[in-house]
Amino acid sequence: MSINLQDTYSLGRAWRYANPRTATEYLPIVYGDIKGGNYGLWNCPCIDTVNFYYLIADHIILSAGNGNSFTVYDRDNTAIDSAGYTIVDDHTDENSKHVAIINFTGDQVLTEPISIRCKGKNDGAALIENPVTILEDFVINFAGGASIDFDAFALQKAKDVCTDYKAAGLITGDRSIGTTLSEILYSFHGEWWKNNQDDIVLQMNTTNQVYDWKGELLERNIKNLSATRDEKNLCNIAEVQYAWNYKLHKYEAGDSGSSTADQLSRNIHGDKIKTFDFKWCRDATTIAVVQAIIIKRLKDPIWIIRFDEVTLRNLHFEKGDFVLLNHSTLYDTEQLPFTDRIVQILTKVTGINEKTINFELIDKAVSYHSLSESVEEIVNITEAIAKSVAKNVAEQMNITEVVAKSVAKSLTDGISLAETISKYIGKAATEGVTVSEQAWKNAFLYDGAYDYDGTIKYGEDYGVL
């Protein structure tokens, strides 16, 4: 059974201990390198007034030997001499639970609240700080989920996008599991939804987005079209507040967005400034990357498109899918009609009896188009297909040879690249080249071409995965 993201995740409370200072205090979950800002960044509740134990995190944290450093503060934000305490990154408490604590040599009642800055949860010798890995760890190790609750391909792809991102934050209260996922992803311009198999699908936006499109929406099947471009979502200067202080309840770092602002958009629309609160980010380099993504995506007004498709041809589409839209009355920023335009499905309502599907879409501001024929581009496509088909060793050379020979021949024949690939792969059977369904799937499954009955197209914003 899949995890219900509307369920509330309740943090542990100090009342599970025999001698807490205040029984109702939350026991925090800590991820990443909690740095920046001033003094102690979160309070450590006293869980044992007899042995003077103060909880850092309700789990094991990265050890000092693996690169963690600790500074402990009293209520006046004065650093406490480390001779007066011991940090235990893996303490077995009275309930046999492994937690991280400060063990003081004497009573600290007169100096409370005690606060700290350090690094959080680890995976062996490594700090967990990839935001998608943090999200996955929370769902599986705290919220009662399992790895099968995620769409595995989307999860790995999202992790890869976030390889160099550094996330850091605390879970400090009771709230729905989905709210925590949204809060983490928001700081890195990511999003999540559940697919028709009830799996969690993660999407991390990038400046050079590669979309796995599922099919096509044709103008001849579209009725009652309504499309709007609302400037309220336009942003060409992305201000960011970050480095949240969990003790003081305020952000302690920020960036004006001037280095990533889009000047052309400012010239056309004026300064459209939005302020983003990134509670799960404390790293300036990561902030700059995310600001650039926001500006690339929001520098022009975004189309929101609604219509009825008077056919059940695309009944298999679902919320979150990326599809191609063709419509002559919708135009991009260069005043060109939508041709193979990438859009994402926001809502889908099916009327089986009426044989009609109502769609609401959001434009992703990119179209697929045929490449201009150049030697460099032909070689790149040939290499990409060869690599994609590497899974099927027995058929790799046959497919690579026919595409390479056919594409090279097109230079002298004057045949377009799209026509060449379509023509010669189609002729493979008559020329004695074995192209099995599995090989075709290996080559095109993840670029949106498999199970698609239209023309295969490549474009500058398009990548074969």
> In the predicted model, is pLDDT for residue 228 greater than 80?
yes
- Do 184 and 315 share a domain, yes or no? no
Least confident window among 78-82, 123-127, 417-421, 437-441: 437-441
- Do 132 and 59 share a domain, yes or no? yes
Count of structural domains, the chain? 4
Over pLDDT 90: what percentage of the chain? 64
Over pLDDT 70: what percentage of the chain? 79
HSE-up of 40 (CA within 13 Å, CB side)? 19
- Do 26 and 138 share a domain, yes or no? yes
Q: What is the pLDDT of residue 439?
A: 37
Reading the block at residue 233, the tokens are 């979502």
- Do 192 and 261 share a domain, yes or no? no
Q: Average pLDDT for residues 401-416, to the nearest whole number? A: 46
Q: What is the pLDDT of residue 24?
A: 97
Nearest alpha-carbon partner for 307 in 362, 215, 227? 227
pLDDT tens across 186-217, in order? 999 999 998 888 999 999 988 877 777 888 99
Is residue 458, in this structure, part of any structural domain at all?
Answer: no
- Do 51 and 99 share a domain, yes or no? yes
- Do 62 and 154 share a domain, yes or no? yes
Residue 284's domain comprises 235-298
Q: Average pLDDT for residues 19-35, to the nearest whole number? A: 97
Least confident window among 152-156, 233-237, 306-310, 399-403: 399-403
Is residue 158, in this structure, part of any structural domain at all?
Answer: yes
- Separation CA 367–CA 323 (nearest Å): 11
Q: What is the pLDDT of residue 167?
A: 98
Sheet with 302-309: list strands edge to edge: 213-217, 322-331, 337-351, 356-367, 302-309, 222-230
- Do 131 and 279 share a domain, yes or no? no
**Residue 216 CB contacts under 8 Å (≥ 6 apart), including other chains:** 323, 324, 325, 326, 340, 452, 454
Task: Give yes or no for a contact between 125 and 131, defined as CB atoms under 8 angstroms apart.
Answer: no
Is residue 87, in this structure, part of any structural domain at all?
Answer: yes
Is residue 259, in this structure, part of any structural domain at all?
Answer: yes
Is residue 36, in this structure, part of any structural domain at all?
Answer: yes
Reading the block at residue 47, the tokens are 């869980």
Helix (H, G, I), strand (E, B) or coil at 55: strand
457 CA to centre of own chain: 26
Instruction: Give DSSP secondary structure letters for 338-366.
Output: EEEEEEEEEEEEEETTTTEEEEEEEEEEE
Is residue 465, in this structure, part of any structural domain at all?
Answer: no
pLDDT bin (cut points 50, 70, 90) of residue 369 is: low
Is residue 52, in this structure, part of any structural domain at all?
Answer: yes
- Do 19 and 155 share a domain, yes or no? yes
Q: What is the pLDDT of residue 233?
A: 81
- Separation CA 231–CA 409 (nearest Å): 49
